């Protein structure tokens, strides 16, 4: 697959932007970016250096494109540990509304983002493949983009920006809250780069006793038997090599809280 | 086969299918997954006038038969509104109980509750009716926002998000799918993009019911078809 295709896709974003603006009859003024998908992972699997490390990654990427004047938080939950309560991703984002690189609204508020009522949940928020952009305005390659037999292999995936990498680390339930059971959904609160053991059989994509695991969602809303942006399924493990086995590389969502 | 063996085999199959389960499409696993869902590859061509529910159902059946799916009973996913002497018809009550698979064997939804998000967690998580799975009977992805060529992602439904007919007096169904002029149709998006939401069945209303009106909103009078059996 050629680079011209992603360029075409990027060009289309501007067209899409105007389409959505028309459809919403919104003002022409562009709202500053308060949401993005990290354009690159930290690179050590599920070890993000904890929430602090992930937040710093958001801040660094934002600063590099001139958005460093805001306070950025990664959309990640952590699970309860002895003496430490759980942290819910949804409690780390401020109150919204949040806009992407193009000034398109992702969600009005926390209830819209997460679908807090039946009607809101059925309608969904506005996070789609065409709005779930990186801090540089790039579309994240998703399901059926640039198909290649090597796109589950980190050794190849790390050499190209053009392979499906649509799994965002969240560690979160669909309502934006941390999991309450004892299994691992957060790569040990974003400090683990372990698993799977070499040659270990592929089990279901779910948390299991003793298994390093992260819950993920999709900005392109395609895959996993549902289209959840924040809580579709688990991973094979937490190593950098494990994440591409299911089409992730360890990217995540960043939100500005102010 | 014992239950244990079955679950081991299932686990192995899952592992082989691998990754984000998308590739489960077309891998030829048992049990068979005959097509029970598709997006019409073409519209009827007369805007919101589908010849009523009967005409729309016949369109589903004809398209299915052309690709070897004619042995099932097909229903268009459309609601109609109450009229004097005629109760409303809810799209969700017309399509059986599932599970429904697309033309490549990919799962769209296990059951009504997942399809419509009847519980909060089901609604938050969603069904698998997304762009890469909402294929035509020929297995094509439907052109959506950002694709080359005219966007035809508006799917006629005439339905609320829960799959039921609207109960107010405004026209939501191009006069119960008989108008190609005045009126309005509620539509969803097969690519789940547009209008600030991701609804597959109730994103917005059109202005007008002519074929040109539908095109101006990003539609071609396409709709969803489901097999009831």
Measured between CB atoms, which of A23, A115, A221 is closest to B124?
A: A115
A–B CB contacts, 8 A cutoff, strictly below: 136
Residue-wise pLDDT for B161-179, tens only, equals 999 999 999 999 999 999 9
CA distance A174 to chain B (A): 6
Q: Is B24 helix (H, G, I), strand (E, B) or coil?
A: helix
- Closest to B145 measured CA to CA, from B190, B185, B102, B184: B190
Residue B174 backbone zone (phi > 0: left; psi -120 to 50: alpha; other: beta): left
Residue B61 has pLDDT above 70, yes or no: yes
Find the DSSP H helices in chain A: 3-24, 50-64, 110-114, 118-123, 154-157, 187-190
Output the pLDDT for position A12.
Answer: 41
Output the pLDDT for position A191.
Answer: 98
Residue B214 has pLDDT above 90, yes or no: yes
Beta-carbon separation of B199 and A119 below 8 A:
no
The maximal CA–CA distance of chain A, rounded, in angstroms, is 55
Output the pLDDT for position A201.
Answer: 77
Find the DSSP H helices in chain B: 3-17, 52-66, 112-116, 120-125, 174-177, 211-216
* CATH architecture assignment, domain A29-256: Roll (3.10)
- How far out from the chain centre does Cα A95 lie? 19
Q: What is the mean pLDDT of residues B189-218?
A: 97
- Looking at the DSSP assignment, which residues form a beta bridge with residue B225? B38, B76
A4-13, A213-222, B74-83, B206-215: segment of lowest average pLDDT:
A4-13
Handedness of CA A111, A112, A115, A117 (dihedral sign): positive
Measured between CB atoms, which of B19, B121, B132 is closest to A246?
A: B19
Residue A203: pLDDT band with limits 50, 70, 90: confident
Chain B residues inside the 8 Å CB shell of A5? none
Beta-carbon separation of B199 and A124 below 8 A:
yes
Spatial neighbors of A41 by CB under 8 A, at least 6 apart, are: A240, A243, A249, A250, A251
Q: Which two tokens stand for residue B135?
A: 């294929």
| Distance between CA atoms of residues B49 and A162, nearest Å | 43
Residue B30: pLDDT band with limits 50, 70, 90: low
Residue A228 has pLDDT above 90, yes or no: yes
Work out the mean pLDDT of chain A and round it to a whole number.
90
Residue A197: pLDDT band with limits 50, 70, 90: confident
Q: What is the mean pLDDT of residues A71-85?
A: 97
CA distance A68 to chain B (A): 27
Written as one string, the DSSP assignment of B42-64 is S--SSTT--SHHHHHHHHHHHHH
CA distance B147 to chain A (A): 8
Residue-wise pLDDT for A136-186, tens only, equals 999 999 999 999 999 999 999 999 999 999 999 999 999 999 999 999 999
Look at strands A98-99 and B37-39 and give their pairing.
Answer: unpaired
Residue-wise pLDDT for A88-102, tens only, equals 999 999 999 999 999
- Chain A's closest residue to B134, CA to CA, is A222
CATH of B34-227 among 3.40.50.2020, 3.50.50.60, 3.10.100.10, 3.30.750.24 = 3.10.100.10
Chain A within 8 Å of B10 (Cβ-Cβ)?
A: no
Spatial neighbors of B163 by CB under 8 A, at least 6 apart, are: B79, B90, B91, B92, B93, B112, B115, B116, B201
Domain ranges of chain A: 29-256
Beta-carbon separation of A246 and B11 below 8 A:
no
Beta-carbon separation of B124 and A228 below 8 A:
yes
Beta-carbon separation of B125 and A232 below 8 A:
yes
Q: Which two tokens stand for residue B159?
A: 């339905």
A12-16, A64-68, B49-53: segment of lowest average pLDDT:
A12-16
Domain ranges of chain B: 34-227
Residue A204: pLDDT band with limits 50, 70, 90: confident
Residue-wise pLDDT for A7-39, tens only, equals 344 434 444 433 443 444 445 568 999 999 999
Percent of chain A having pLDDT more than 70?
89
A196-200, A238-242, B127-131, B156-160: segment of lowest average pLDDT:
A196-200
Complex confidence, ipTM: 0.84
Chain A within 8 Å of B42 (Cβ-Cβ)?
A: no
Percent of chain A having pLDDT more than 90?
83
Could you tell me if A121 and A228 are in contact, meaning their C-beta atoms sit under 8 angstroms apart? no
Mutation choice for B interface testing from A108, A122, A144 by most B CBs within 10 A: A122
| Distance between CA atoms of residues B74 and B44, nearest Å | 16
Mutation choice for B interface testing from A179, A227, A228 by most B CBs within 10 A: A227
| Distance between CA atoms of residues A167 and A222, nearest Å | 10
* pTM beyond 0.80, yes or no: yes
Residue B59 has pLDDT above 90, yes or no: yes
Output the pLDDT for position B32.
Answer: 79
Spatial neighbors of A150 by CB under 8 A, at least 6 apart, are: A156, A157, A163
Length of chain B: 229
Half-sphere exposure (Cβ direction) of B135: Cα atoms closer than 13 Å:
21
Chain A residues inside the 8 Å CB shell of B19? 152, 245-247
């Amino acid at each position: 697959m050629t680079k011209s295709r992603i360029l075409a896709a990027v060009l289309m974003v501007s067209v899409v932007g105007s389409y959505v603006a028309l459809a919403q009859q919104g003002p022409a003024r562009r709202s500053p970016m308060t949401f993005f998908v990290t354009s690159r992972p930290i690179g050590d699997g599920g070890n993000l250096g904890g929430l602090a490390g992930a937040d710093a990654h958001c801040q660094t990427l934002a600063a590099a494109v001139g958005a460093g004047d805001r306070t950025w938080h990664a959309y990640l939950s952590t699970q309860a540990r002895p003496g430490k309560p759980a942290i819910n991703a949804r409690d780390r984002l401020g109150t919204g509304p949040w806009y992407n690189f193009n000034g398109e609204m992702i969600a009005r508020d926390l209830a819209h983002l997460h679908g807090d009522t039946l009607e809101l949940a059925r309608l969904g928020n506005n996070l789609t493949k065409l709005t779930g952009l990186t801090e540089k305005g790039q579309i994240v390659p998703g399901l059926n983009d640039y198909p290649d037999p090597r796109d589950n292999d980190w050794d190849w995936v790390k050499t190209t920006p053009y392979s499906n990498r649509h799994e965002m680390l969240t560690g979160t339930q669909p309502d934006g809250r941390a999991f309450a059971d004892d299994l691992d959904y957060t790569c040990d609160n974003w400090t683990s780069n372990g698993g799977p053991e070499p040659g270990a059989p592929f089990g279901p994509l779910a948390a299991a006793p003793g298994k390093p695991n992260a819950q993920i969602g999709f900005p392109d809303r395609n895959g996993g038997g549902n289209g959840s942006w924040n809580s579709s399924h688990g991973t094979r493990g937490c190593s950098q090599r494990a994440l591409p086995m299911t089409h992730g590389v360890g990217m995540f969502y960043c939100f500005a809280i102010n | 086969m014992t239950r244990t063996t079955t679950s081991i085999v299932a686990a192995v199959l899952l592992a082989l299918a691998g990754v984000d389960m998308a590739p489960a499409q077309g891998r030829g696993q048992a049990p068979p997954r005959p097509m029970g869902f598709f997006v019409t590859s073409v519209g009827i061509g007369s805007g919101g006038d589908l010849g009523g529910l009967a005409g729309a159902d016949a369109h589903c059946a004809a398209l299915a038969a052309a690709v070897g799916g004619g042995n099932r009973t097909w229903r268009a996913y459309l609601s109609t509104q109450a009229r004097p002497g005629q109760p409303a018809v809810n799209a969700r009550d017309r399509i059986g109980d599932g599970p429904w698979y697309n033309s490549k064997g990919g799962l769209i939804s296990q059951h009504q509750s997942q399809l419509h998000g009847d519980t909060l967690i089901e609604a938050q998580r969603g069904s698998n009716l997304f762009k890469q799975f909402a294929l035509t009977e020929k297995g094509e992805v439907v052109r959506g926002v950002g694709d080359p060529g005219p966007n035809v992602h508006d799917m006629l439904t005439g339905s609320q998000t829960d799959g039921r007919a609207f109960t107010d007096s405004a026209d939501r169904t191009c006069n119960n799918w008989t108008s190609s002029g005045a009126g309005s149709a509620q539509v969803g998006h097969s690519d789940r993009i547009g209008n600030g939401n991701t609804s597959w069945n109730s994103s917005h209303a059109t202005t007008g019911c002519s074929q040109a009106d539908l095109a101006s909103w990003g539609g071609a009078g396409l709709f969803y078809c489901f097999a009831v059996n």
